[in-house]
Amino acid sequence: MDLPAYLAERRINPTAFAAEIGVPPSTIHRIIRGERDPRGATIRKIVEGTGGKVTASDLIPAPASPEAA
């Protein structure tokens, strides 16, 4: 499950979720918009904060395939 889907399911906004897991709201907003890839500590907080519904692999973009180049 991706993070926006989780937030929609819980009917919670990104700012409230950020407060729940102890990260700046701008971090969550940037992750959702694809402007930032989360780092280790943030990934752990999101996975724990969602009870594992959002996994690390949901948060880390897949590498581009050589065929796409």
Does the structure show a pLDDT above 70 at 69? no
Does the structure show a pLDDT above 70 at 7? yes
- Whether the model pTM is above 0.85: yes
For tokens 């701008």, name the residue.
26
Structure tokens at 46: 């999101």
* Percentage of the residues of the chain whose pLDDT score is greater than 90: 83
Q: Which domains, from first to last, does the chain contain?
A: 3-59 (1.10.260)
Does the structure show a pLDDT above 80 at 24? yes
| pLDDT (tens digit per residue) in 31-55 | 999 999 999 999 999 999 999 999 9
The Cα–Cα gap between 19 and 7 comes to: 13
Structure tokens at 16: 């409230």
For tokens 């594992």, name the residue.
52
**DSSP summary character for residue 25:** H
Nearest alpha-carbon partner for 10 in 43, 45, 53, 42: 53
Neighbours of 24 (CB within 10 A): 12
